[in-house]
Structure 1
Amino acid sequence: MKKQWFKDSVVYQIYPMSFQDSNNDGIGDLLGIVKRLDYVKKLGVDVIWLNPIYISPNKDNGYDIADYKNINPEYGNMDDFDYLLAQIHKRDMKLIMDLVVNHTSDQHKWFQESKKAKDNKYADYYIWRDPVDGHEPNNWLAAFGGPAWTYVPERGQYYLHLFAPGQPDLNWENPKVREAVFDVERFWLDKGVDGFRMDVINLISKPAGLPDLSGTPTAERTLGFVADGPRLNEFLRQMHDEVLSHYDVMTVGEMPGSTPEDAIKYTGLDSHELNMVFQFEHVGLGPNPDVRLGKWNDEPVKLTELKSSLNRWQKALDGKGWNSLYWNNHDQPRAVSRFGNDDPKYQVRSAKMLGTTLHMMQGTPYVYEGEELGMTNCHFTDIEQYEDLESVNFFHELVDQRKLVDGPTMLKYLAVKSRDNARTPMQWNTDQDAGFTKGTPWYGLNANYKEINAKNELEDKNSVFYHYQKLIKLRHDFDIIRYGAFEELDPQDEQVYAYQRHYNGKTLLVISNFTDQTVMRNYNQPKNAELLISNYTDDKDAELRPYESKVYLFND
């Protein structure tokens, strides 16, 4: 397999507003990140991914960009960014930026001009349609609730927004839009950034004619219908040929609804578009049986379904493409609460188990800030505690407007699935507000920060932090972890996730107990197999204790 630096890397994702405040205004910022770079370096990662730091009205926490070439003043200025980039490179780490180019903010100059008239320079930068019988042009629904169309009297037309009304979709059919996006990419790459994470990039090519959805329209069905449109390959190839191919960069495309077959088309080892995709299959498991409620549910994910999803991607992309490996990000609840067990009795063991299970797979692992500490969901109990646009909008839509679910039930769903679970400030120490700020934090902290925080874990050699540090070092040290072929074991086992990797005459055996029970399993590893890592201090062979995870290496 061809060796490229992104395949050998581990990425640490930073959500800037929640990471570290340096000026005590309660909002994380760029100089705060600089303050914590030695911590990130100590973990052992190779790449930092920053969520959007551009000028934005923050209707969707920065994913509504009003100016691509300037820094949101809450985070600092361009001098601060240049200093941050230099400090990251000084520590032999790389930086990738979040590129959001399916849509902009409605405050962006392009949209402000576009909505004025049908015949100016920016008139076709966005997707405009005439009313149909006095209503929206089609029945598509937006990801954050309500119709995917908003009417603008100045033009007498509707514009498309697959997300919030403040996030109008760009018209990628217009070559001037594509060139404007490429210009933004060159601006940052010429500064020295090392690549991009591309937000919902598989939505940029819309279905021809923008037809109605058949059957019951939902937000999820709308995104699935729009995804992977007819010109996506063409647009990504043009982006590669005109921009990306001229730099040594890492690119990952967020692609909701994509299949492994789609991913190979866009990121195949023989293609020339992107390095890898973020797919949503495993984190999208366990939707509500009532399709009208979409993802909002509090039922635990079945291990057999989780294994089926992850195994499918491992097998399908082996030798053909490249996986991104993640449990957490800014859009997902905390993994230890969703897939493990955040009861204090099991939180540390299950956090280590989840990390081991994922980091031994083929692909580039992503660690989301606080994951290396085993940070948990925040378990809020009142809608007033929530900040996320998606969570608040759907609470009011499903509870107050459509009355599909009662308030207490929806709050239980939010406690499990809300994006806000990932956005509480980073837990640095036991000081007031966890050392995140000396001001008033922009968002409430998780109440358990006095128990779960970086200071405590750096002082405990058995902490989740040091387990992640060891996982990352093992990946750097062993080719089999990075490149080995994947073999699933016992896919119907409802308690244990086991698999093997094979490379150059060696086998890696990974065994993880996803339950709080002691179970017995025998995978016939040789007596002289080397135990590379475990979350218990002793090895009891076939006995697997609650949330036990262990990895063996042996010759074939």
Structure 2
Amino acid sequence: MRHSDWWRSAVVYQIYPRSFADSDGDGIGDLRGILSHLDHIAELGVDVIWLSPIYRSPHDDNGYDIADYQDVDPSFGTLADLDELIAAVHDRGMKLVMDLVVNHTSDEHAWFEESRSGPDSPKRDWYWWRPPRPGHTGGEEGAEPTNWHSFFSGSTWEWDEASAEYYLHLFSRKQPDLNWENVEVRQAVHAMMRWWLDRGVDGFRMDVINLISKAVQPDGDLPDGVAKPGTRFGDGSPFYTCGPRNHEFLREMHDEVYADAAVLTVGEMPGVTIDEARRFTDPERREVNMVFTFEHMGVDHGPGGKWDSRPLHLPDLKLNLAAWQEGLADQGWNSLYWNNHDQPRIVSRWGDDSPEHRVASAKTLGTVLHMLRGTPYVYQGEELGMTNANLASIDEYRDIESLNHYREQVALGADPQAVLAGIAPVSRDNARTPMQWDAGPNAGFTTGEPWLPVTPNHVEVNAEIVRRDPDSVFHHYRRLHELRHTLPIVTDGRFRLLLPEHEQVFAYLRVLPGAEGVDVATGSGTTDADQVLLVVANMSSELATVRLEGLVNALAGDVLLTTHDDGAPAVGERLTLAPWESRIVLS
């Protein structure tokens, strides 16, 4: 493995600063709060900390609307605090990655304020400004330049009375999209990135970076999307997802900013396909190290999308993850995640958050993910087995996506309680409730009033308890990280899915290429190999019995990690697993 490829065997821990730890009692997490808990992260055995945005922002979308890329928002602290944090992270042998949000800025960014000043502004073309449709007056329904529907509800176009044009925003109206066709925009972004690398950061997580290239027509217009039934909106995603110059823009960024630096770069890419991901992450193409795919996060979505969630059908998840493992096996690299600031808590979503099974299901979900090929990401609180928030009223929500969806659906005549029931299990606020440090008031997160309610189960689910308990989720994750750091097979082994149609059990092999006696394609001969890792996991709350044909020796190998020390022994090729029992076996 090349020195520049250090991230292949690394584990990344994501911090959502607003909800991690509050040092000054204002109810909002901050940089000094993070500093006070760095030893918790270091003890977990991770290599990299990724900070969600801490830049100056009006916080319309909790910091993903940036008003100044080169300053820290006062609610989080100062640049001096950040410099101290970077140094403290490095002192503990870890690296720090910043969130790069450059598909859009805040409408309060100086660039946009100048652009908005009028059609003659030198920065007018830094954003997407367009007049109303012919025959329409600006501001009226249907006058928007395209029919695209925003990720955050409503149109992607906002009428600006003062300058008499619309501007494009794929997300909130306060998040205008930058025009990456303009070389000055790209140069300004590159200069800002170099400034952060010079300050000591070790890489970038790139927010929706596959949306930066729009499919501009020869006349400069953007095309309408296919109409969505029952609405006036169309699906514009084919015209801005992995757009025509996306690869060119990322290759230019690589060459201009970090070609000679051993940094971590991961692109968040909604809608990316395996073929596109292979190109984005092929080292020879010089774009990014890895991408965040969204496909596996959509396997439980019904016809109504994320707000229409269904029970997980395990074979669907297995086949999707297997396709990505195999698709990027020879070219490219996977990122591995269950949780982040945009996803509900995995133990509530696909595990079992009841008192009986929460711990075992959290461990097993971690086992299944961390032994795959790729770089795993742990989201704050995942190592505690934190659960969904179970917010009782729309008044308790803070997430702009959830609030906009609620208002839009109620305005269309939907039953408010039914809409709320659809929001509760999937809202982004589930991931954003305060980190649970102890059983005290506000879970030890703040001495003030927390910006989002603390989950009531913090009395029994908190860092103080799990760090003392050697059988906790925390220490299970720590052992998973030790395996990744010490066993080359976890980083480099080939993947082979077992039991693809089994509705309870997720099982797979990792095999080092060229291991004696192993046919990686078929799995035959694995009983004679000494470099085979077997992962077998019951992802249900019921007993499961499986038959693993041809893997008698694998089942009898060294159990490296298990959720149940008293698990049943294999009888021949048959293995009975307790609810949420998982095993990692090396043979």
Match of 2:191 in 1: 183
Which residue identity does 1:479 align to in structure 2? P
> In structure 2, what is the equivalent of residue 366 of structure 1?
377
* Corresponding residue number in structure 2 for 1:39: 40
Whether the 8 Å contact between 2:179 and 2:185 is mirrored in structure 1 is yes
Distance 1:544 1:279 in 2: 31
Q: Could you list the runs of 5+ residues in structure 1 that have no partner in the other structure?
A: none
Counterpart for residue 270 of structure 2: 256
Instruction: State how far apart, in whole Å, the 1-side matches of 2:247 and 2:85 are.
Output: 34
Is it true that 1:514 corresponds to 2:525 in the alignment? no
* 1:477 counterpart residue number: 486
The match for 2:552 is: 525
- Identify the match of residue 322 of structure 2 among 300, 311, 323: 311
Q: Match for residue 329 of structure 1?
A: 340
Aligned-residue identity in percent:
51
Residues 383, 411 of structure 1: 8 Å contact kept: yes
Alignment partner, residue 211 of structure 1: 223
- Which secondary structure does the structure 1 equivalent of 2:69 belong to? strand
User: What amino acid is the match of 1:325?
Assistant: L
1:486 pairs with 2:507: no
Deviation at residue 26 of structure 1 after TM alignment: 1.1
1:151, CA displacement in angstroms? 0.7
Deviation at 1:286, TM superposition (A): 2.3
1:298–1:412: 8 Å Cα contact kept in structure 2?
A: no
8 Å contact 2:226–2:236 — kept in the other structure?
no
Match of 1:238 in 2: 252
- 1:153 is aligned with what amino acid? E
Residues 1:197 and 2:205 aligned together: yes
- The residue type paired with residue 547 of structure 1 is W
SS of the residue corresponding to residue 120 of structure 1 reads: coil
Opposite residue 402 of structure 1, the aligned amino acid is: L
Alpha-carbon distance change, 272 to 84 in structure 1, aligned in 2, over 3 angstroms: same
- Mean CA deviation greater in 336-345 or 215-224: 215-224
Pairwise CA distance, 1:223: 3.5
CA distance in 2, matches of 1:177, 1:285: 36
Out of 516, 527, 543, which is 2:576 matched to?
Answer: 543
- How far apart are 1:121 and its partner, in Å? 1.6
Q: Answer whether contact 1:269 1:319 (CA < 8 A) is retained.
A: no
Kindly provide the amino acid, as one letter, of the partner of residue 63 in structure 1.
Y
Aligned partner of 2:339: which letter? N
Is 1:402 aligned to residue 412 of structure 2? yes
Query: Which residue is equivalent to 2:398?
Result: 387
Kindly state the Cα deviation for residue 501 of structure 1 after the two structures are TM-superposed.
0.7
Whether contact under 8 Å (1:102, 1:200) holds in the other structure is yes
Alpha-carbon distance in 1 for matches of 2:234, 2:260:
36
* AA matched with 2:564: Y
Which residues of 2 match residues 87-126 of structure 1 at below 5 A? 87-126=88-127
**Paired residues of 1:143 and 1:220 also in contact (CA < 8 A):** no
The 3 A distance-change label for structure 1 pair 271 and 339 is: same
Equivalent pair of 2:21/2:29 in contact (CA under 8 Å): yes
For the residues of structure 1 that align with 2:452 and 2:427, how far apart are their CA atoms? Answer: 14
C-alpha displacement at 1:220, in angstroms?
A: 9.7
**C-alpha distance in 2 between matches for 1:221 and 1:501:** 40
- CA shift digits 1:408-438 (9 cap, x unpaired): 2222221111000000000000110011111
Structure 2, unmatched stretches of 5+, are 137-142, 516-530
Letter in 2 for 1:306: L
Q: CA deviation at 1:225?
A: 4.2
Are the aligned partners of 1:143 and 1:223 in contact in 2 as well (CA < 8 Å)? Answer: no
TM-score when scaled to structure 2? 0.92
Cα–Cα, structure 1 residues 221 and 466, in superposed 2: closer, same or farther, change >3 Å? farther
Whether 1:163 and 2:184 are equivalent positions in the alignment is no
Per-residue CA deviations over 1:301-357 (Å, capped at 9, x if unaligned) read 211111111111001001211000000000000000111111111100100000000
TM-superposition CA deviations, 1:471-502 (whole Å, max 9, x none): 00011010001111111112111111111110
What is the TM-score of this pair, normalised by structure 1?
0.97
Q: Is the 8 A contact 2:564 2:581 kept in 1?
A: yes
Q: Which residue of structure 1 aligns with residue 7 of structure 2?
A: 6
How far off its partner does 1:528 sit?
Answer: 4.0
Paired letter, 2:224: D
The 10-residue stretch of structure 1 (524-533 or 512-521) with the greater mean CA deviation from structure 2: 524-533
Pairs within 5 Å for 1:220-239: 221-223=235-237, 225-239=239-253
Is this contact kept in 1: 2:381–2:435, CA < 8 A? Answer: yes
Q: The residue matched to 2:369 in structure 1 has which SS?
A: helix
Post-superposition shift, 1:513? Answer: 0.8
Q: How many residues align?
A: 549
Q: Is the 8 A contact 2:227 2:234 kept in 1?
A: no
For 1:344-359, list aligned pairs within 5 A: 344-359=355-370
Partner of 1:142: 150
The question of whether the paired residues in 2 share the 8 Å contact of 1:142 and 1:162 is answered with yes
Could you tell me which residue of structure 2 aligns to residue 462 of structure 1? Answer: 471
User: Residue type matched to 2:16 in 1?
Assistant: Y
Give, in whole Å, the separation in 2 of the partners of 1:156 and 1:128: 10
SS of 1:179's partner is helix
Superposition deviation, residue 14 in structure 1: 0.2
